[in-house]
């Protein structure tokens, strides 16, 4: 049973983070820091221009921006720029996803930030990198999925490219940037020096291709679509059951033996065409059809119950609701509550990282804030008194 800990006990509680990001990738990086205790100030525009992730009180925005505080600031005004300078001076990390020209104009390049705070870490995220021929292009998940090659290996052979059903390049780039920030903080612990950390959606996804990428860079082999089948090991894929479909992985010789024994498939085991891994790969189409004839005699639950104890990974194919209601997921408690003043108690998805010395807090300490919800409190922390705050609001520098 996890013990209760306070926010100040979390590993990043001594760090202040300034979140200047929009869309999804940058907020994912900041969410990693916020969930583990960082004091995050989210700076937002004084005029609501909408968001690709939806309404602030919608599920997506709440899940992205929990544990953050919001300050609405006009960065283009002199007064807003002064507030920003004060924020930078007291921050450990600034996270942004502006174009290079915008960074320069707002005074947010690493060279400019260092003059305000020599220990600052600037963390930047973009579609295609900070320089190069595509650096000024807008980059979104759909475009990057196509350009990195992911769409070309997703889907059924011969039916054209298919996008992965989640914003995988955004979330992957966000996770990599979060890791980069942690590396930079560790480096600063030893050297006292800040630095510029950056990644992009395209870099993150080329890395995420992993063994498919290495098949090309090492062997010159361009991977193709394999549908639900594993591209290089057989059998591993989706098969028919009596009541639907099931995923099975019997890719090693030991697993293959266990599969045949658990399902009484002695004819498959005796078939010379399937005698070893190379044979099974060469005869994939025939083997998959033969496996379908065997597995279709069993219900999904029966296959799961027979194969897993035999050392053969096997699992049902859920929709998202079924996934969250699964007994193992319920045991893992993948959600935690957050109290929202208007929405009440809402359940949000917790960090996937588990630390034995720092159990997950029992609840998120902030729901996703309305834009500017903590503007006055944050300005007071920066040294502005109430008359000064009133002036900033009157001038339109703060909302």
Residues with a catalytic annotation lie at 170
Nearest to 368 by CA among 4, 16, 126, 57: 57
Beta bridge partners of 72: 44
**Pairwise CA distance, residues 327 & 134, whole Å:** 46
110 three-class SS: helix
Nearest to 33 by CA among 191, 144, 197: 197
DSSP 9: G
**Pairwise CA distance, residues 350 & 356, whole Å:** 16
Residues 6+ positions from 188 with CB-CB distance below 8 Å: 119, 121, 194, 195
Q: Quote the tokens at residue 392.
A: 């900033």
Angle at 153 between CA 151 and CA 155, to 5 degrees: 80
Mark out the alpha helices in 209-352 (DSSP H runs): 211-219, 253-262, 266-270, 277-282, 284-295, 300-307, 320-325, 327-332
């Amino acid at each position: 049973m996890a013990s209760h800990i306070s926010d100040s006990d979390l590993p990043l509680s001594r760090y202040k983070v300034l979140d200047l990001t929009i869309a999804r990738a940058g907020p994912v990086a900041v969410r990693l820091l916020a969930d583990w205790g960082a004091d995050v100030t989210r700076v937002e525009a004084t005029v609501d221009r909408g968001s690709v992730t939806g309404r602030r009180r919608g599920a997506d925005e709440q899940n992205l921006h929990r544990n953050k505080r919001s300050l609405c600031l006009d960065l283009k005004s002199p007064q807003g720029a002064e507030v920003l300078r004060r924020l930078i001076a007291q921050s450990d990390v600034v996270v942004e996803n502006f174009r290079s020209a915008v960074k320069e104009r707002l005074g947010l390049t690493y060279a400019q930030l260092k003059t305000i705070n020599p220990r600052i870490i600037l963390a930047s995220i973009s579609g295609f990198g900070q320089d190069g021929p595509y650096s000024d292009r807008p980059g979104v998940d759909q475009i990057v999925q196509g350009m990195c090659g992911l769409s070309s290996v997703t889907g059924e052979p011969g039916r054209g490219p298919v996008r992965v059903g989640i914003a995988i390049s955004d979330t992957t780039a966000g996770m990599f940037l979060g890791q980069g920030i942690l590396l930079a903080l560790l480096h600063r612990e030893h050297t006292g020096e800040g630095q510029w950390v950056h990644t992009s959606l395209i870099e993150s996804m080329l890395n995420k291709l992993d063994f498919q990428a290495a098949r090309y860079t090492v062997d010159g082999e361009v991977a193709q679509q394999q549908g639900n089948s594993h591209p290089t090991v057989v059998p591993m894929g989706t098969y028919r059951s009596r009541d639907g479909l099931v995923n099975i992985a019997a890719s090693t010789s030991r697993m293959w033996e266990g599969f045949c024994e658990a399902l009484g498939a002695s004819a498959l085991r005796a078939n010379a065409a399937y005698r070893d891994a190379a044979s099974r790969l060469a005869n994939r189409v025939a083997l998959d059809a033969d496996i379908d004839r065997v597995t279709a005699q069993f219900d999904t639950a029966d296959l799961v119950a027979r194969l897993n104890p035999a050392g053969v990974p096997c699992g049902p194919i859920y929709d998202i609701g079924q996934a969250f209601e699964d007994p193992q997921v319920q045991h893992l408690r993948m959600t935690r509550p957050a109290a929202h003043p208007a929405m009440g108690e809402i359940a949000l998805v917790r960090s996937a990282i588990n630390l034995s010395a720092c159990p997950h807090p029992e609840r998120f300490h902030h729901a996703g804030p309305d834009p500017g919800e903590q503007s006055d409190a944050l300005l007071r922390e920066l040294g502005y008194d109430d008359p000064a705050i009133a002036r900033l609001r009157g001038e339109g520098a703060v909302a």
